[in-house]
Structure 1
């Protein structure tokens, strides 16, 4: 799609394809980040802590949100930089076997004062069925057409 700043419509809503979280995904994230807390590696421990099984790291969910959003190819050649994530809330645990998707909506935009680009704001939610699992705001810098 390759949205430029001028193409972004505040209120536009997008939904990604679904993705199933696997135990292997969680294990890979443990290995990459060196975070081997038993909530992410030991099913009995996670169940004793009140979960239905091992849970994914909140940061895995946040990273997955960006990856799924990238698959929409909204800014394939127009993205300049992520400026950060705000108001990140890990609302519900993510378990191996969950199927999730991302729902996002443009909530604001403004031209950059220093370059031919614009700052856009997205409300981004990781969803499991009708449940919000992670809720966050993402700010990005994308190219203008000029």
Structure 2
């Protein structure tokens, strides 16, 4: 979709995706190798009672679910920022996550592009919010053709 096809207040929902134990451990070994993400025995003794996904993994899974909707498609230019990221609950192996996205602001920044800010809220299969964040992306504005 082009920039002008979006509207403030518009909402979208992703298909559910399952977070496996293997996904959690693989991500953590590369990017956040702390015991609660990679060591089952220590994680069992923690306040979580088992392995949980890294918060950064949850952010990445949330963004991936949004991207998989394909709404920005090839009209996306780049990400411009993430703010107000809050981890509400841990994500456990086999949790099914759904992302609800709402456009909260739009601003045309140049003739050929605009910034779209999304409020992303990720929920588990119990409809408990596990993450919320605001993400801004740059999207192409439909080409303006000048008549000679």
Scaled to the shorter chain, the TM-score interval is over 0.9
Shift of 1:131: 1.0
Unaligned runs of 5+ in 1: none
Residue of 14, 20, 24 corresponding to 1:16: 14
Aligned residues: 142
Equivalent residue runs for 1:56-95 within 5 Å: 56-95=53-92
CA contact (8 A) 2:14 2:98 kept: yes
The CA deviation at 1:55 is 0.4
Computing the radius of gyration from Cα coordinates, the structure with the larger value is 2
For the 8 Å contact 1:52–1:95, the answer to whether it is kept is: no
Taking structure 2 as the reference length, the TM-score comes to 0.91
Unaligned runs of 5+ in 2: 144-148
- Alignment RMSD, CA only? 1.1
Q: Does the residue aligned with 1:11 lie in a helix, a strand or coil?
A: coil
* Residues 108, 114 of structure 2: 8 Å contact kept: yes
Deviation at 1:44, TM superposition (A): 2.7
Matching residue of 1:109: 106
Query: How many angstroms apart in 2 are the aligned matches of 1:86 and 1:115?
Result: 25
Runs of 4+ in structure 1 deviating by more than 3 angstroms, as ranges, are none
Give the secondary-structure state (helix, strand or coil) at the position aligned to 1:53: coil
